[in-house]
């Protein structure tokens, strides 16, 4: 494929970022930088995937122990979480047939679903969807220590950290430069 076709396929706006940020002067340099940074970004896929699976399994195992394997149908959830469960169940039905299992649903819930299970509605003791009792938090995140000292991380701090991973993951999976919109002023940052 020639450079003009590549630029058309990737898109001029996407490549203009490499010109602005890296100072690429020619079309070949922009395409080369795009390919190089996509390759570099690929190095993060495995790590992010491991974090996603570990978070899913940790939360699922804790809630399942308290509410059974189909907990996603029985515990109160936010409207957004309910919609994500319905989508996962539909995908399980479409891909596995009517005999899909609870695990077929769990593995089709998005990373965002799991991250938002740590959000405010699930931490608020006055809400029906409250799940983060001290016992559940300790069972789910036994090694989550405050990096600044002072004991265990709070669930809100865990949400904040996993939310950063979610945003980073979305940049990776949508083939965006991983540093974009992170206040970087130069390539070295």
DSSP per-residue string spanning 43-97: TTHHHHHHHHHHHHHHHHHHHHHHH-TTHHHHS---HHHHHHHHHHHHHHHHHH-
54 and 82 co-located in one domain: yes
Confidence of residue 188 (pLDDT cuts 50, 70, 90): low
The stretch 6-27 carries a mean pLDDT of 87
CA distances from 100 to 85, 89, 94, 106 (A): 14, 9, 9, 11
Of the listed ranges 4-8, 48-52, 57-61, the least confidently predicted one is 4-8
Burial of residue 25, with CB atoms counted within 10 A of its CB: 0-12 exposed, 13-18 middle, 19 or more buried: exposed
**127-185: pLDDT as tens digits:** 999 999 999 999 999 999 988 887 899 999 999 999 999 999 998 888 777 766 555 55
Q: For residue 142, is it within any domain?
A: yes
38 in the same domain as 53: no
**Residue 10 shares a structural domain with residue 65:** no
In a domain? residue 181: no
Please indicate, yes or no, whether residues 36 and 52 belong to a single structural domain of this protein. Answer: no
- Residue 112 and residue 37 share a domain: no
| pLDDT recorded at residue 182 | 52
Residue 78 scores a pLDDT above 90: yes
What pLDDT was estimated at residue 103?
98
Q: From the CB of residue 138, how many other CB atoms can be counted at a distance below 10 Å?
A: 12
Is the pLDDT at 109 greater than 60? The verdict is yes
Report yes or no on 103 lying in a domain.
yes
Residues 73 and 107 in one domain: yes
Q: Which domain holds residue 37?
A: 3-42
User: Is the same domain home to 38 and 85?
Assistant: no
Is there a single domain that holds both residue 37 and residue 55?
Answer: no
The tally of domains found in the chain comes to 2
Do 17 and 100 fall into the same domain?
A: no
Tokens of 66: 């308290």
Mean predicted lDDT score pLDDT of the chain: 91
Q: 33 with 56, same domain?
A: no
Mean pLDDT, residues 35-48 taken together = 90
Residue 188 lies in a domain: no
Residue 138, domain member (yes or no): yes
Q: Is residue 184 part of a domain?
A: no
In terms of domains, do 72 and 151 share one?
yes
Mean pLDDT over 16-39 rounds to 88
Are residue 15 and residue 107 in the same domain, yes or no? no
């Amino acid at each position: 494929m020639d450079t003009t076709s590549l630029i058309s396929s990737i898109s001029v706006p996407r490549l203009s970022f490499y010109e602005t940020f890296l100072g690429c002067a020619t079309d070949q340099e922009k395409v080369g930088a795009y390919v190089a940074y996509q390759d570099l970004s690929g190095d993060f896929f495995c790590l992010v995937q491991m974090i996603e699976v570990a978070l899913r399994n940790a939360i699922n195992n804790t809630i399942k122990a308290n509410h059974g394997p189909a907990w996603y149908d029985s515990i109160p959830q936010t409207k957004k979480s309910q919609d994500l469960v319905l989508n996962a169940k539909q995908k399980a039905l479409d891909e596995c047939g009517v005999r899909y299992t609870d695990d077929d649903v769990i593995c089709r819930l998005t990373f965002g679903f799991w991250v938002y299970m740590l959000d405010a509605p699930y931490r608020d003791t006055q809400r029906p969807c409250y799940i983060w009792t001290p016992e559940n938090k300790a069972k789910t995140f036994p090694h989550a220590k405050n990096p600044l000292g002072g004991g265990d991380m709070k669930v809100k701090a865990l949400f904040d950290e996993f939310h950063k991973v979610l945003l980073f993951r979305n940049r990776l999976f949508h083939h965006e430069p991983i540093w974009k919109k992170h206040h970087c002023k130069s390539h070295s940052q």
